[in-house]
Structure 1
Amino acid sequence: MSSPSELTRESGAKAFDGHQYVYNHESSTVGCKMKFGVYVPAKAEKERVPLLIFLSGLTCTEQNFITKSGVQRLASEYGFIVANPDTSPRGCKIEGDSDNWAFGEGAGYYVDATESKWSKNYRMFSYVNDEFYGLLIKNFNVDPNRIGIFGHSMGGHGALVSFFKRPAQYKSVSAFAPICNMSTSEWGVDAYKKFFGQDENLWKQYDATELVASYHGPKPHAPILIDQGSDDNFLAKHLLPERLINACEKASFPIYFREQAGYDHSYYFIMTFLEDHFKYHKKEFENSK
């Protein structure tokens, strides 16, 4: 497969019946070179297939998901293109963007910052849901009517926020151990003060718990699937799933929350339940025809 337009291929390897690629491109949205992984099954060489976008968590690059999750076997079996972007702009040389593992490089939180120091480059919400989304449809054999989004931790937050803010773009959403209430979590408060200043109304615009209360888009056919490990070290201070569950109940929004006994926050947890998420998205795609 030759490199699609606007993209530079960095690597490619056959895996199962398809290929795992890594590409880079110059992003006009975040003002730097961005990398992403994309698995293309053999089926996509002949026809348009569903797309799943996976958003990774804090400290991750485009490599973590494609090297640790075992996603290639499932993407091949289900016939899905699976694409995963980096988690932030890199190399922008903004003072303070690499001082803390929980903020800045590797920690863009999938928001569009409004504070002037960050607003030029830290526009990951627009990158994922406009530039990256469009790039995938343009350059790969994607069925635009069957696109889902999911993610882990910070990326689970990003997936939920993307779904609630852009309901016309996604047929399905799921998450592993998402940060459910960013505007009150310890990670979120620290990051959002920098990205948005003191206006907490701006913080709430990128908070799944807040967004579900005002969501007016189409509801999924089956409750949104969220998996959470019971032994996750970040559960109490940072993830706060009970707040999203309560907000969904008040809004009569369907959610299926599964606490998985003994599992932590790692990719061992993700790989264990990843196929359940593929099954979930597959059913949503079939129901949306």
Structure 2
Amino acid sequence: MTNSPFHVPLIIDVKPAITERNQITRLHPAKDDKCIHSNDSQSTSDPNPPANRTIYNSINMVKLEQVAQNKAFGGSITKYKFVSEALGGLETNFNLFVPEGASSSAKVPVVTYLAGLTCNEDTAPWKAGLLLPASQHSLALLFPDTSPRGANIPTEDDSWDFGTGAGFYLNATAQDWSKNYNTERLITSEIQRVLKENSDVGGVLDLERQSVMGHSMGGHGAITLYLKVGLRRF
């Protein structure tokens, strides 16, 4: 939102996201925010969906599964996973730090932290060093993964600064990549909805008060996502 109380410090060191061999060409908004598995092919606008594509609708909610939890600076940091429509039906993880005192009657603002090249949802919290100040200022921190895992796209592991090493927080349009590499939609739409649907997790978060920040590739992602959706999300 435009009157966000949060500053967004950014450190940018970005590799080009376009190569001759692997091309992720432009950003585009999600065409469909629907999220849950259905075996009914009529639940999608595509009358002939590929056999290997999971179909989603909005009848049921996506359930978060807790993977791990640790105490941290008076609060807790919890790792969750869920099956992501934005990532083509792959499982994705994120870490969520919730400060002490957060509750449904005392909701806390959320800062999404976007990590840099070769990082993930686990390396981001200790590299960022933000848990202590977040606890002091009663802020929740959301750490999404940087790329899809398990897409098995040819060449996605060939370079440390592209593919599984760097998803660049965008929605891919190149044919080989567009099914799975949609981390922009994952962060700005799907995770937001999943947190709302799972009130036992998101019920202590004030999703009307959010900001976004990042380091390196994540700094670039924070800029682009804020400029694209900031008026309605961050």
After TM superposition, is the score higher than 0.5? yes
> For residues 49 and 58 of structure 1, what CA distance do their matches in structure 2 show?
29
Contact 1:24 1:34 survives alignment (8 Å):
yes
Q: Deviations over 1:11-36 (max 9, x none)?
A: 11111221011111110110211011
Q: Which ranges in structure 1 are unaligned for 5 or more consecutive residues?
A: 172-289
What is the identity percentage for the equivalent residue pairs of Structure 1 and Structure 2? Answer: 37
- Which contiguous aligned blocks of 4+ residues in structure 1 show a shift greater than 4 angstroms? none
**The residue matched to 1:128 in structure 2 has which SS?**
helix
Residue of 190, 207, 222 corresponding to 1:159: 222
Greater shift after overlay, 131-140 or 119-128? 131-140
Q: 1:87 aligns with which of 146, 151, 172?
A: 146
How many angstroms does 1:94 deviate by? 0.6
Gaps of 5+ in 2: 1-61
Distance across 2 between alignment mates of 1:137 and 1:42: 20
- CA RMSD of superposed structures (Å): 1.7
Q: What does residue 39 of structure 1 align with?
A: 97
Q: How does 1:40-119 map to 2 (within 5 A)?
A: 40-45=98-103, 46-119=105-178
Q: CA deviation at 1:156?
A: 0.7
**Cross-structure match for 2:190:** 131
* Counterpart Cα distance in 2 of 1:51 and 1:60: 21
Q: Is it true that 1:8 corresponds to 2:71 in the alignment? A: no
Which structure's relative contact order is higher, taking Cα pairs within 8 Å and 6+ residues apart? 2
More helix by share: 1
Contact 1:23 1:35 in 2 (8 A): yes
Counterparts of 1:56 and 1:138 in 2: how far apart (Å)?
A: 25
CA contact (8 A) 1:92 1:121 kept: yes
Conserved? CA contact 1:149–1:170, under 8 Å: no
**Separation in structure 1 between the aligned mates of residue 232 and residue 176 of structure 2, nearest angstrom:** 30
Once the two structures are superposed, residues 78-137 of structure 1 have per-residue CA deviations (whole angstroms, 9 ceiling, x without a partner) of 111100100000111110111101110031101111111100001111111110122234
d(CA) in 2 for partners of 1:151, 1:34? 19
1:1-289 alignment to 2 at 5 Å?
A: 6-31=63-88, 32-45=90-103, 46-139=105-198, 140=202, 141-171=204-234
Partner letter of residue 130 of structure 2?
V
